[in-house]
Every structure is written in structure tokens, then in C-alpha cells.
């Protein structure tokens, strides 16, 4: 059967980063179809005989990796299996070795869902590649009843650790006490060891044998309270965590307040002396207000859109990066730092922004206070069908006053439909609604002159969305 037929019948779709769907529909044949369609899409552009695979800690991930690997073997390709490691660790090693790669992960979405992320030997696939995979006519061979067992190669984990260890001296984090919220993160065995090697005192927090979906853009109230409690108990200078596959950071300050990912990205870019940035439209306007960058290009939400802007920025800038509101940091160019060179890694990474900020002598809250004070908040409605989200946004686009009436305000200068509906109000507050690209969720982002105001905008907007008829 053709790959496109299997894929379309499965109902699995590409989201903001990778193909995502319920575990129940990610059968071995569906995994095989996506895998062979991916190879079919890129094999005329690159020469390779091996494909790298890694997974997150979801209970379904190993079986999906077996299916992908078995399909590759039938196609005449060898497989390097790196086990449970962060997505950027897989991408970094595969790019070093000029191999395509597949990450089995559902990132931050619930455990009953999973996904596949695909990387060319030079980095993430494009939106055009996604279309080609979805429509690939390549024939998919039936998999054997017994899928191959996978032996772990530790070289990707080691290469990723070395990438960052070599940037700093062994006493860089001396005197700092860092909590690592391990939960089920794919990188939990890396972070603690790396921080210790750099001189920090490290405490492991809440390691879990069950998969826990951590969303770095919509931190749960429970996790907010946990951070404050941990700081009060242990006296941490910071707490570090990530989402499930380790490409989105979650960093707290010494007060137990989780940083918004775009402010962490802004701090990192400032400290790396980045010239130009590509960021999604949902990011904090403090980026432009800081006056630190020659050029800031705004994109749709999703790393492929951010990456697509890099070529334009690299024409006039030598130090180019991007980041998302979830904190994932993408390095478009090699950058010198601390007398060393950080090689480009144009995919989301959680470790780089956290380490760059943690290595500074100033407290995190002090560094945040030095930035333009513009506050953002975000949240989501779970189990909100994508069709309903789209109908809602269509209705609001036709009559924005339905939304702005919540605040007794009229739209300001701008209604931005780059990705969803982003409305700037006449007091410069911002409210932004969009359907998630990864799950049936409606997301809301807000920006205001105070955190309380931003939070209230989110609460009002989501309550409005729940109750309006579409």
C-alpha cells in the first residue's frame, strides 16, 4: 500500500512540530508509512546509509521506534538507536554525522498521544517536506510480526553533554544551588550530571516512573506552587526542568517564579550578543522594546517557520538566533562565547538558554528587572476541537468587537492574523487566540503592563471562548 494512503487513513496530522496523534492510531504500519515517506522525500537530496532514532519516556515510544527501525531495515538502511535522550541531542549528533534522524515524542502533550519529529541531515524538515511526506506515493512493505530489538548507542548523549561542558570552566556554577525537576523528561539523566560538573550543588526533584506532560507555555498552578515551596525549602538559586522531550526549558528564579520562555530567550540572546532574531508572533514585545537587535522578524508559531526566516537574517547578520514563547532556543549561526565557539543548532534546545543565564553572577530576578517590563500570560482550554477553534476565530475575525467588548475597549492599531487572531487594544494590551497545532486545544496568550492584568485577560478570553456560540 502507498504511504499516503496509510497516513491519510490514520488521521495523523502534522502540527507545529512533527506528526502528532493518539497512540491508538500510531500503529506499526502507520509509523512505517511515515518513516518510508520521510526517506522518500529526502533521499534524492542527500547520500546516507544510516538513520538515527531516539525516543522520549512515553510508554508507547519504544514500540514506535521499533516499527520505524524495522521499516528502515526493510528499505535497506542501517539504524543508530540512541535511546531516551532530548530531541536536540539527537539532532545535534545526527547533523554532526550527516544522518537523517527521527525522534519519537509527543513533546508536552498527554501520554495517550505521541508523535514523530523528522530531521534532514542538515536540520529540521520544512513545511514543504511535511506536505511531501503526507502525499508520498512510495510503497510500504509489510512489517514482520516480530519487530527488531534496539541496542542503545550512548554517543549522542555524550556529544550533547560535551557541547555545553566545553563552554564553561568546572567552577562556573560554584556556589549555586540548583533544583532539577526531573519528572519524566528525556534529559533528566543529563541535566543533573552536567550542572554538578560545572560546580553546582544539585537536588533532584520528583522523578517519576509515569509520563507527566509538562507544558512550558501553560505551567500548571500545581507546578507554580511546587516551585515556590521548593525554593523555600532548599534555598535554590534556580530550578530547571523541560518538557517531555527536552527541547523546551522551564527555569525559575531564586524566588520560585517560573520564567516566561520568551524572556529567557531574550536574556540568552542579550548575553550571546545576538544581532538579529526570528521569533513567533506570540512572543513578548519586550524583544523589540529592548533595542538590542538590528532586526526582529515575526513568524507563525512553530520552529519550521522560525527556521525559514534564518536565511534572510543571515544575509546581513553574523550572529542570528531564534526562540519561541515556550523557551526553545534555535541557534542559526556559529557564535563565539567565553573564548569558545558554539556551533549552530537550528532546532529547539532547552539547555543553551538555561546554562547561559545560570552562568551569570547576577541573580535571575535582577537580570529580568533590567529588561523592558512587559508581562505575558498564557493558558489553554483542553479538549477543545480544532474545528470549533477555527470557527471561533473566523467569527471573531469578522467582528473583533465581540472579543474586545470584554474589556470595554475598541481594537487599537492592529489586528494580526499571522497565526490565529492577535489583537492589540487601545491601551497596548494584547490578546491572542489560536488553535494548538499539536492537540485539540485552544490557546490564549496575553500581554499587559502587569502580570495580574495579563492573567485576567487570559481568564476572560478563555471563559468567553468556552461560552460563545459558533
Closest CA to 315 of 333, 292, 341: 333
**What does the block give as the cell for 241?**
526542568
Assess contact for 327 and 246: CB atoms under 8 A. Answer: no
Active site residue 107: yes
Integer Cα distance of 272 and 358 in angstroms: 13
Determine the 3-state secondary structure of 253 from DSSP: coil
- Ranges of beta strands (E only) in 362-438 are 375-381, 411-416, 421-425, 430-435
Determine the 3-state secondary structure of 165 from DSSP: helix
Closest CA to 303 of 122, 124, 112: 124
CA distances from 118 to 17, 31, 349 (A): 9, 12, 15
| Residue 433 φ then ψ, to 5° | -115, 140
Span between the terminal Cα atoms of the chain, in Å? 39
Helix, strand, coil in percent for the chain, rounding step 5: 35, 25, 40
Out of 60, 107, 184, 378, the active site residue is 107
* Catalytic (active-site) positions: 107
Amino acid at each position: 500500500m502507498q504511504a499516503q494512503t496509510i497516513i491519510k487513513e490514520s488521521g495523523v496530522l502534522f502540527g507545529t512540530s512533527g506528526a502528532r496523534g493518539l497512540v491508538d492510531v500510531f500503529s506499526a504500519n502507520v509509523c512505517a508509512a511515515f518513516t518510508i515517506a520521510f526517506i522518500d522525500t529526502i533521499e534524492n537530496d542527500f547520500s546516507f546509509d544510516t538513520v538515527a532514532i531516539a525516543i522520549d519516556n512515553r510508554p508507547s515510544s519504544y514500540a514506535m521506534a521499533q516499527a520505524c527501525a524495522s521499516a528502515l531495515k526493510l528499505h535497506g538502511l542501517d539504524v543508530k538507536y540512541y535511546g531516551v535522550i532530548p530531541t536536540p541531542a539527537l539532532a545535534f549528533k545526527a547533523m554532526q554525522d550527516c544522518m537523517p534522524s527521527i525522534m519519537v515524542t509527543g513533546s508536552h502533550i498527554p501520554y495517550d498521544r505521541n508523535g514523530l519529529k523528522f530531521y534532514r541531515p542538515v536540520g529540521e524538515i520544512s513545511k514543504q517536506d511535511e506536505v511531501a511526506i503526507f502525499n508520498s506515493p512510495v510503497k510500504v512493505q509489510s512489517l514482520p510480526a516480530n519487530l527488531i530489538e534496539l541496542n542503545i548507542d550512548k554517543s549522542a548523549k555524550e556529544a550533547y553533554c560535551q557541547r555545553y561542558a566545553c563552554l564553561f570552566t568546572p567552577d562556573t556554577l560554584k556556589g549555586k544551588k540548583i533544583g532539577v525537576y526531573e519528572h519524566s523528561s528525556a534529559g533528566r539523566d543529563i541535566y543533573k550530571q552536567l550542572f554538578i560538573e560545572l560546580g553546582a550543588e544539585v537536588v533532584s526533584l520528583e522523578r517519576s516512573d509515569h509520563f507527566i506532560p509538562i507544558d512550558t507555555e501553560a505551567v500548571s498552578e500545581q507546578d507554580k506552587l511546587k516551585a515556590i515551596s521548593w525554593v523555600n525549602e532548599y534555598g535554590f538559586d534556580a530550578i530547571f526542568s523541560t518538557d517531555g522531550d527536552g527541547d523546551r526549558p522551564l527555569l525559575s528564579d531564586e524566588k520560585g517564579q517560573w520564567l516566561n520562555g520568551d524572556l529567557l530567550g531574550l536574556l540568552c540572546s542579550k548575553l550571546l550578543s545576538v544581532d538579529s532574531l526570528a521569533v513567533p508572533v506570540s512572543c513578548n514585545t519586550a524583544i523589540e522594546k529592548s533595542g538590542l537587535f538590528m532586526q526582529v522578524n515575526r513568524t507563525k508559531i512553530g520552529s519550521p517557520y522560525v527556521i525559514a526566516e534564518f536565511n534572510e537574517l543571515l544575509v546581513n547578520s553574523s550572529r542570528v538566533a531564534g526562540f519561541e514563547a515556550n523557551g526553545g532556543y534555535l541557534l542559526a549561526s556559529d557564535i563565539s562565547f567565553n573564548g569558545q565557539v558554539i556551533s549552530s543548532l537550528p532546532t529547539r534546545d532547552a539547555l543553551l538558554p538555561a546554562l547561559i543565564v545560570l552562568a551569570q553572577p547576577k541573580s535571575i530576578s535582577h537580570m529580568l528587572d533590567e529588561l523592558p517590563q512587559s508581562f505575558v500570560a498564557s493558558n489553554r482550554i483542553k479538549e477543545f476541537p480544532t474545528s470549533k477553534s477555527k470557527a471561533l476565530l473566523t467569527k471573531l475575525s469578522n467582528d473583533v468587537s465581540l472579543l474586545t467588548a470584554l474589556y470595554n475597549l475598541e481594537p487599537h492599531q492592529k489586528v494580526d492574523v499571522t497565526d490565529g487572531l492577535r489583537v492589540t487594544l487601545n491601551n497596548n494590551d494584547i490578546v491572542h487566540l489560536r488553535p494548538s497545532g499539536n492537540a485539540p486545544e485552544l490557546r490564549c496568550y496575553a500581554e499587559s503592563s502587569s502580570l495580574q492584568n495579563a492573567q485576567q485577560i487570559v481568564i476572560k478570553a478563555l471563559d468567553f471562548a468556552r461560552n460563545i456560540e459558533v
